[in-house]
Amino acid sequence: MKHEPSMSQDSCAHSLAQRRARRIGPMRTLTCLRARALLGEHPHGLFHVMHAEWRLYRRFLMWCAAKEQTDNQQVVEDPNVSHFNTHRFFFLDVVTRACAEYVNFIAKTPGAESLDNPEAFIAKAEANVDFAWICHFLFDAGFFVLDFLQSIRANDSHKIDLLWREFYASAHTSTANKTQYVPMAIMRVFWGMALKPELSDLLHALRTIPSDSGESGVGWDMAIENLNLAIKQHVAHHVSETQVKDYCMSHALIETIQKDMRELLYGSRAAHHGSHNVDATTDVNKLVERMKAVVGTTWQAATQPKTTASVVTGPTASLRKAAPWTEVETAMERAGNDHPSHVIRQKVKDLTPFFQWQA
């Protein structure tokens, strides 16, 4: 093992300024986004990363899903894993893309702050609480989740560890309340830093595994989830341990045959791969138009001082005090035993009792 790694507050969550600056690239590409199609990083890790941000921004997300905006009645306030696919689509392909298009639109109007300086852009946006919700969701939640997904697809293990550090800041809030996943995030980062070079290289190389199509990376848990689904589909009646074991013994052969059959039957449709996915453009356009109507169509209008939020559901009084970005900052400023560096150190010590830690 290496010497004990630093576990300062800075190591668990990089500044919001660094986060926002790093995500200017995704903003430029999101305007063209269309629908695309152990706890591993994906699906479980990605779900809990998204779920933490969903809980923090649920009032804004539910406003976006309401009948007056996009009428997405399938969207629920607190989704669970079974809702993951539909809610990931709404979170990324609809809301994040709409926010990106709206912010890009406002940034091109006269007098607007440059997006090359996101800290200054957001600081001025905060004069208007509605524009603040849109900008903070985009930079602190939407791009964060998109960054996590893309890093998994690319098997960028070191980037994933950086994002797990950022996850701590959101997950440790009372609203997100991801009490079971804060320790997981801490230990993901710890092992990524603490192993000897040879083992560290192996860990980072195998952080994700190829998907069934081989086109991108998924988490170690994806194969387990796929096997679980196959068992449910093939062992449907008089379920017993023996039946499950018998199916598992033949699973690899069955899947190989089915894969070859799919290629034989549907190979000619390769050019249309992904055409079955839903296009989010209609909902995105509706949401962008609603933002223009509620917040404004110019930089001057969007930054006009306003303290009562119109782009959220629920109580309107003093919403700025309970804003997600304020809650994250407050959580990271806790003192004593709740200070991030103390929490991280204690979790690592508790989960590695086989090490002798310095006092």
Residue 241 lies in a domain: no
The Cα–Cα gap between 348 and 62 comes to 37
Which residue would you say has higher pLDDT here, 109 or 359?
Answer: 109
Segment 98-108 mean pLDDT: 98
**Phi, psi for 280 (deg, rounded to 5):** -85, 0
Q: Measured between alpha carbons, how far apart are the two ends of the chain, in Å?
A: 17
Q: What is the CA radius of gyration of the chain?
A: 22
Q: Spell out the alpha helix ranges (H) of the chain.
A: 9-12, 16-22, 24-30, 46-56, 58-65, 84-88, 97-107, 118-125, 129-136, 143-153, 157-171, 181-194, 197-205, 221-234, 241-266, 281-295, 299-302, 324-332, 340-351
For residue 166, pLDDT over 60 is answered with: yes
Which pLDDT score, from 0 to 100, does residue 110 have?
Answer: 97
Cis check for the bond before 315: say yes or no (omega within 30 of 0).
no
Contact 52, 79 (CB under 8 A): no
**Per-residue pLDDT tens over the stretch 111-147:** 999 999 999 999 999 999 999 999 999 999 999 999 9
Structure tokens at 127: 């004069």
User: Number of folded domains in the chain?
Assistant: 1
What phi-psi label fits residue 146: left (phi over 0), alpha (psi between -120 and 50 degrees) or beta? alpha
Which pLDDT score, from 0 to 100, does residue 116 have?
Answer: 95
Residue 262 lies in a domain: no
Nearest-CA neighbor of 243 among 231, 252, 255, 253?
Answer: 231
Contact 135, 295 (CB under 8 A): no
The Cα–Cα gap between 358 and 272 comes to 59
Contact 58, 17 (CB under 8 A): no
The Cα–Cα gap between 225 and 43 comes to 9
Residue 198 lies in a domain: yes
Please, what is the average pLDDT of the chain?
84
**Per-residue pLDDT tens over the stretch 60-94:** 999 999 999 999 999 999 999 889 999 999 999 99
DSSP letter string over 75-144? Answer: --SS--GGGHHHHHIIIIIIIIHHHHHHHHHHHTSTTPPPTTSHHHHHHHHTTBHHHHHHHHIIIIIIHH
Strand partners, 210: 217
Residue 3 lies in a domain: no
Which pLDDT score, from 0 to 100, does residue 132 have?
Answer: 97
Which pLDDT score, from 0 to 100, does residue 269 have?
Answer: 61
Helix 157-171 × helix 197-205 angle, to 10°: 80
Strand partners, 209: 218
Amino acid at 2: K
Residue 54 lies in a domain: yes
Structure tokens at 169: 């800041």
The Cα–Cα gap between 139 and 159 comes to 17
Q: What is each CA distance from 15 to 22, 88, 163, 328, in whole angstroms?
A: 11, 25, 12, 11
Residue 50 lies in a domain: yes
Residue 256 lies in a domain: no
Domain extent for 294: 9-220+279-351
Which residue would you say has higher pLDDT here, 27 or 154?
Answer: 154
The Cα–Cα gap between 165 and 11 comes to 7
Contact 129, 320 (CB under 8 A): yes
Amino acid at 236: A
Nearest-CA neighbor of 171 among 184, 159, 181?
Answer: 181
The Cα–Cα gap between 185 and 161 comes to 8
Lowest mean pLDDT among 72-76, 201-205, 316-320: 316-320
Residue 169 lies in a domain: yes
